[in-house]
Structures are given as C-alpha cells and as structure tokens.
A and B are shown apart, each in its own frame.
Chain A
Amino acid sequence: MAKMPTPDQLLSAIPASFPKAGWMDTKPDFHPGSYCYPAKTETLKGLGFENAHNWAPDNEDWELPENWEEIIYNSLKDALEKHRSLKVFMDCCVRCGACADKCHFFIGTNDPKNMPVLRAELLRSVYRRDFTTAGKLLGKVAGARKLDKSIIKEWFIYFYQCTECRRCSLFCPYGIDTAEITVIVRQMLLDLGLGINWIMNSVSDCNRTGNHLGIQPHSMREIVEFLCDDIETITGIRIDPPWNEKGHEVIFITPSGDYFADPGIYTFMGYLMLFHEIGLDYTLSTYASEGGNFGSFVSFDVAKRLNAKMYAEAERLGVKWILGGECGHMWRVVNQYMATYNGPADFLETPVSPITGTVFKNAAATKMVHIAEFTADLIKNNKLNLRPRRNDHIITTWHDSCNPARAMGILEEPRFILKNVCNNFVEMPEHTIREETFCCGSGSGLNAEEIMDQRLRGGFPRANALRYVHDTKDVNWMACMCALDRAALPPLVDYWVPGVTVSGLHELVANALVMKGEIPRTMDLRQEDLPFPDEDPEAAEEA
C-alpha cells in the first residue's frame, strides 16, 4: 500500500529549474489550449497550398508529405536566397540575451523557448546543419541539429507564440527582427500544409469576399445601415455612406473588424460621423473592405495578393488617394510593404487634405494616409468643433499598438487627438509605451479563442502596466489604434483589469464631435447615458 503523497511531493513533481537537458532535447507539449486549431484542408487547397492535408496537432503523426525534409530544405534555401535579412539574422546572433526579457510571451510564461533568441535558434540550429560547413561537420558542438519531425512540431508551437510585434528587434544590438523569422518559418510550415484556421480561413474569406468573416456585399451594406441607424438615434443625423461609387476623391479602407465586431463598430461609426461633418468626398468598397492583412502574418506572397485589391479598387473607382482606418498590421503592410508589393501607384495623386489643403508628402509614393494623421491635421487647423466635456467621465490612457509604433512611428498624432477630445489623459509607465510598447498578446493572427489562456499570459505585461495606472490614477479607459487590439484587449482587460473600457481613437473623437444640425447628445456612441450630457437649448430657454 502506497501512502498518499504530501502536498510537497505532489507539487514538486514539476522540475524546479531549467530542464537538465538542453533546449534542443526538450520537446513541446500538445494539449488543448496550447495550440490553435489547424486550417482546413479545402481552405488551404483553395489558396494554392499543394500539401494541405488533414491533421491534428495533438496527434503523434502529422501526416507530413513524404518528401517533407526536401520541402523544408528547399523552402529555407529559397528564403535565404530571397532575403538578406534572414542570412544576416541567421549568422549574426551572439546570444547576448538582451532580447530575452523583452518578449511579452517570455515575461508572461517564463518558458525559455519564448526568449526571442531561442525562438530564432529553433530555426538557426537547422540552418547551421544544412547550410554551414561547421554545422555539417561538428553537429551539436556547432549548435546544429538534424531536422526531425519533432522540430516541425516545435516550430508550430513557438512560431505561433510570436505576435510579430518586433519589440525584441528594438533592443537587439544587430537589429535581429524575430517577426521576419516568424513569417518565414510560418511560410515554411504552410509549404508542408500546416497552418492555423483563424488565420487561413480569414485569408480565404478576405480573398473571396473582401472581409475576414466572409460576409457578402449586400449583408455588409445592411450591417453598415444598422450602424447608421445607431448614429441617427444618437445624433439625429442620417448618414448614408456611398458604396463602390466611382468618381469620388478618396476611398476609405479600414480593417473589416471595424464593420462587424464590438467595440470596433463604434470606431467605425466615429469615422462616418467625422466624414459627414467635414463633408469628405469619399466612398467605401465592398470589394476592398479589408485593410488588415491576415496574409502578412504567414507569407509575403499571400500578403501581396490580399494587398493588391486596395490599389486595384482605388484605380477602378478613379479616386485620387486612399485614406486608411485605425489598424496595426494593416499599417505595417501599408507603410513598409504596399508600394513595394503592388506599386507604383501612379494612377493616384499625392494625398492632399481637401479640408485643410495640407499635402501629405510623407505618403507621396504609397498615396495612403493614416486617419490619425488626417484627423490631427483637421484639429490643428481648427476644422472641428469639439466638446471634450462629453468625455469627462473618462480617464483614458493610450496603448501604442506595436506596428503603428515600431513599423511606422505614429506616436504623437494619436496623443494630440486624444488630448483634444478628452480632458483626462494619463500615460502608462515609461518603457511600456511608445516604441517600447507591450503587445496585446494576440497579434499576428493569434486572437483565436481556443488559446485564450496563452493570450492572457502573453498580454499580462501590457495589462500589468494598465493596472498600475488604473490603481494609482483611476484610469478607466484605454484607447488604441488597431483592430486586433480592439478585439484582443477587451478579454485581456476583463480578466486582468476589470473596470477599464477599450475603444478606438475615433470613437472618442466622435463622442466629442459637435455636428452641424445634431440633437443635444445624451448618450455616447455605445448608447450609454452621458454623465455630462449636452444642455438642451429648449430646456435652457424655458428656465
């Protein structure tokens, strides 16, 4: 008869320290919650991935194609020949460890393979074995290891635990960018037919229908009509945005999450109200209704393919320039890739704000302006009548989304807008904001619901900084400028810092925006009562 174990024995069954075996010899664990659901075979086939097949992450056998080693070798070789960045990043790392505690996933999970340096070593070790002489001759002594199926599994786990936020690249003395490595490894996995459903299904739907939920054009229009109904309820003004119309000055493209998802829809309502108020000559498009680019999470080619629709539609509709909504990865693509992928966009003109006459020279090649730049310019030129008092019940902070911050540098514009529409603005602690901002933990297509625990761990550093200002400065609102943030932060905040509301920037703008001909506002865009409503002029007269 065995005795019951003591609590200590029960709990200390887990190793107390780094595993004795080196990282090359520890294998990943697959259990529900540790992985995303795999992409469906027909989805991948439809997108042209030949090796798509049925498989399950928690099965021992992933049923890889027979020549899987050759596929990986060729895929890596191809990537090395195409990207100098990859070659340099593979050769240069000195393992100084400066990146290690910069990754929100490492901070939140303490799993050593979530240190960016080790995440990259997962690929580097294979690279050394296949592409360097020392690795071929010396093997493990040279930090090389032979590709086997467990390494593929390891890649699947850890390269889908990177949100491509690039925080590590900021601190790396050689600028090694894990996002670049992650995209390339995900591409290699796709070549084996391994992808995740949340990303690939969205890619497929964006490709076919123009939005990530696969909503067809008439339903889309109907949904926007609801939002216009809501605007009418709130402001008494009826807005009827143009769809797919030719001959307007601007096409407005925003992530499709803003059409369908809470709280993105309030931001979308904000855009419509702003455009109506300033009389912008714009059109929406059902064909190019997704600015966010799910392809950019996994493959440069797929990203290009989805991105191409934006210029194609701008050209077809004959607009002069493109205005882009609040989004993170969309702006990574627009700012750093779009002109390269699908330019030059000679059929467009250098953007000029029709209201203020400001020329956006910084967008001279891409011809696409960020709405925060656009609105900041409007406010600076006193073109908007704003009543920030309507937001007086809000003490807001600003979450810099990774990509607008580290791939674009749009830091001051949103702060300027926020300070003009909100009387109470508080920054989160230094080193958790601006270019050093922490990711929401769900970026790059990891906002799948099945890995919520992982998302909550990864988002903990961000939540912790928010909680600090919530506790010490009564912050009850966090504004941000990314559709993924708007989707991913509410659960995060709900778990870690209940009592804080997440919203987009233009929701707050529209709350404060005094529109010509509107009724006195008693509720905000969420149709909740305003603690500081507008005075009713008639009631005031009677009094």
Chain B
Amino acid sequence: MDITAYCTSKGEKLVGLWVDRFFASYPIDSTGFMRTRRDKFANPVGETTRNAAALLFDAVIGKDADPEAVKLALHDLIWIRAVQDMTPSQAVGAIVLLKDILRKEVLAECLKPENSSSGSLKGYLDMESRIDTLCLMALDMYAEARERVYRVRIEDVKQSQSQVIRLAGLRRERSEPLPETDNEG
C-alpha cells in the first residue's frame, strides 16, 4: 500500500479533523465564526489556519512540498498562535495532535496483514517523524515570535519618545539636566 496515496485519498477528512483540533485549542472558540466564515479578510485567523493545515498535511504524508512554502505556512500559523494568549505548549502542541488523528485513522490500515510487506509501517513512522520535525520548527518559530513581540515593545517605547531621547543624549553631552518628563508610558 502506498501510504502517501492512501492519506491523500482521505486527505480532506484528516485535514478537517486536524483543523478542528486547532480551533478547539482557542480559549473560547467561536465555532460559529471560525469554522463557517471562509473569507480571507473577514476571518483571517480561520482561513490562515485552514490553508496552513492543508499544506502542512501534504508535507507530512510525504508529498513533494516546497520547503520554503511549508516553512511559510507553519510560520503564519505559529505567529498567529503566538499572540493568542496561549501557553507555548498550546501554541505549538496542536501540531502533535495530528499523530493522534493518524493513529486512529491510518495506522490500523498499515497494520493489516496484507499491507505488512509493502513497507507501509515504515512509511507511517516516517510521517510521524516529519510531524516531529514540524514541531521542532514550530518551537523555533514560536520563540522567534515571542522575541519579536518583546523587541517590538521596546521599539514602541523608544520610537514614541525618539526625539526626547535625542535631546537627552545631547544634553548629556553638554552635561545639562535631562528633559523634564514624568511619563513612563
């Protein structure tokens, strides 16, 4: 049995189940909104998740996938989840849940005696390994996203007072007192 072909044939269902798991991990999932409204601009979170899941799924089951495109899709997914008030494990962990789905839906097929000689079990394990890879990549991206958030926060403060900082620097050179401001915001 060709496991890639098998998974492709069940692809729509499996991706659907996976996407549901993603949506389910939102603190309060507005199912009526996230799941039904398919519009890139009216429901960007839902659409990004859906599109990314479909692409990542193809990569996991061993189809030819452009590594850059996979990275980008994963990036979109994780960077949204990184600012959704989730714990790191929640943000990244929904990827692991694909394993759970595959075990329920695909593993039994691989273990059937008639498929034992076709190397489908090896194919199955390869899929799981690819999920691990995605997870590790996601971890990197999550960390990067959080670092960006903090950098952005610092920049925000600096930019909002850029000229005051400039003045302060100049006065320090002239050893004058700092400009009077008591705003810490």
Q: Is the CB of A8 within 8 A of B97?
A: yes
| B156: interface (CB < 8 Å) | yes
B64 to chain A, nearest CB (A): 23
| B100: interface (CB < 8 Å) | yes
B185 to chain A, nearest CB (A): 4
Q: Is the CB of B97 within 8 A of A7?
A: yes
Known: A18-B28, A110-B26, A110-B45. Contact between A453 and B149, CB under 8 A?
yes
For chain A, what secondary structure do more than half of its interface residues adopt (helix, strand, loop), or is it mixed? helix
Instruction: Name, among B29, B40, B158, B183, the residue most crowded by chain A CB atoms within 10 Å (CB to CB).
Output: B183
Contacting residues, chain B, for A257 (C-beta < 8 A): 160
Contacting residues, chain B, for A15 (C-beta < 8 A): 27-29
Q: Is the CB of B185 within 8 A of A494?
A: no
A414 to chain B, nearest CB (A): 22
Q: Is the CB of A487 within 8 A of B181?
A: no
The residue that B161 contacts in the complex, of A201, A213, A226, A496, with Cβ under 8 A, is: A213
Contacting residues, chain A, for B28 (C-beta < 8 A): 15, 18-19, 110-112
Q: Is the CB of B152 within 8 A of A212?
A: no
Binds A, one of B5-13, B81-89, B109-117, B119-127: B81-89
Complex-state Cα separation, A292 to B62, whole angstroms:
56
Known: A7-B97, A17-B31. Contact between A260 and B163, CB under 8 A?
yes
Q: Is the CB of B45 within 8 A of A11?
A: no
Q: Is the CB of B41 within 8 A of A465?
A: yes
Contacting residues, chain B, for A107 (C-beta < 8 A): 42-45
B153 to chain A, nearest CB (A): 5
Q: Is the CB of A198 within 8 A of B185?
A: yes
| B66: interface (CB < 8 Å) | no
| B80: interface (CB < 8 Å) | yes
Complex-state Cα separation, A100 to B48, whole angstroms:
20
Q: Is the CB of B152 within 8 A of A452?
A: yes
Nearest residue (CB) in A for B168 is A219
The residue that B85 contacts in the complex, of A12, A222, A226, A453, with Cβ under 8 A, is: A453
| A288: interface (CB < 8 Å) | no
Number of interface residues of B (CB under 8 A): 58
Complex-state Cα separation, A303 to B112, whole angstroms:
74
Number of interface residues of A (CB under 8 A): 67
The residue that B84 contacts in the complex, of A212, A265, A457, with Cβ under 8 A, is: A457
Q: Is the CB of A461 within 8 A of B83?
A: no
Complex-state Cα separation, A212 to B41, whole angstroms:
35
B113 to chain A, nearest CB (A): 28
Nearest residue (CB) in A for B34 is A110
Contacting residues, chain B, for A111 (C-beta < 8 A): 27-28, 30
Known: A7-B93, A8-B100. Contact between A16 and B24, CB under 8 A?
yes
Q: Is the CB of B30 within 8 A of A460?
A: no
B151 to chain A, nearest CB (A): 8
Complex-state Cα separation, A322 to B123, whole angstroms:
74
For chain B, what secondary structure do more than half of its interface residues adopt (helix, strand, loop), or is it mixed? helix
Q: Is the CB of A260 within 8 A of B160?
A: yes
Known: A453-B85, A464-B40. Contact between A496 and B164, CB under 8 A?
no
Q: Is the CB of A260 within 8 A of B85?
A: no
| 136-178 of chain B: CB within 8 A of chain A | 145, 148-149, 151-153, 155-164, 166-167, 170
B108 to chain A, nearest CB (A): 18
Complex-state Cα separation, A318 to B159, whole angstroms:
35
| B68: interface (CB < 8 Å) | no
| A1: interface (CB < 8 Å) | no
Known: A11-B90, A17-B29. Contact between A487 and B185, CB under 8 A?
no
| B37: interface (CB < 8 Å) | yes
| B1: interface (CB < 8 Å) | no
Q: Is the CB of A448 within 8 A of B185?
A: yes
Q: Mark B69-96, 1 if CB is under 8 A from A, else 0.
A: 0000000000110011100011001101
Q: Is the CB of A214 within 8 A of B33?
A: no
Q: Is the CB of B163 within 8 A of A226?
A: yes
| B179: interface (CB < 8 Å) | yes
Complex-state Cα separation, A12 to B97, whole angstroms:
10
Contacting residues, chain A, for B157 (C-beta < 8 A): 449
Contacting residues, chain B, for A431 (C-beta < 8 A): 41-42
Q: Is the CB of A452 within 8 A of B153?
A: yes
A284 to chain B, nearest CB (A): 15
Q: Mark A415-449, 1 if CB is under 8 A from B, else 0.
A: 00000000000000101100000000000000111
Contacting residues, chain A, for B37 (C-beta < 8 A): 101
Q: Is the CB of B149 within 8 A of A223?
A: no
A357 to chain B, nearest CB (A): 36
Task: Report which B residues bind A (CB closer than 8 A).
Answer: 21, 24-31, 33-34, 37, 40-45, 48, 79-80, 83-85, 89-90, 93-94, 96-97, 99-100, 145, 148-149, 151-153, 155-164, 166-167, 170, 179-185
4 cross-chain pairs, A with B, having the tightest CB-CB distances, nearest first: A464-B44, A16-B24, A491-B152, A262-B159
Other than the given A202-B183, A227-B163, 7 more pairs (CB < 8 A) read A108-B45, A109-B85, A112-B28, A201-B184, A223-B164, A226-B170, A456-B149
Task: Report which A residues bind B (CB closer than 8 A).
Answer: 6-8, 10-12, 14-19, 33-34, 37, 100-101, 106-112, 197-198, 201-202, 205, 212-216, 219, 222-223, 226-227, 257, 259-263, 265, 429, 431-432, 447-449, 452-453, 456-457, 460-461, 464-465, 468, 487, 490-491, 494-496
28 cross-chain CB contacts under 8 A: A7-B96, A7-B97, A11-B90, A15-B27, A18-B31, A109-B84, A111-B27, A201-B184, A213-B181, A214-B182, A215-B164, A259-B163, A260-B164, A261-B161, A261-B163, A265-B162, A449-B185, A452-B156, A456-B149, A457-B83, A457-B84, A460-B44, A461-B41, A464-B44, A491-B152, A491-B155, A495-B148, A495-B152
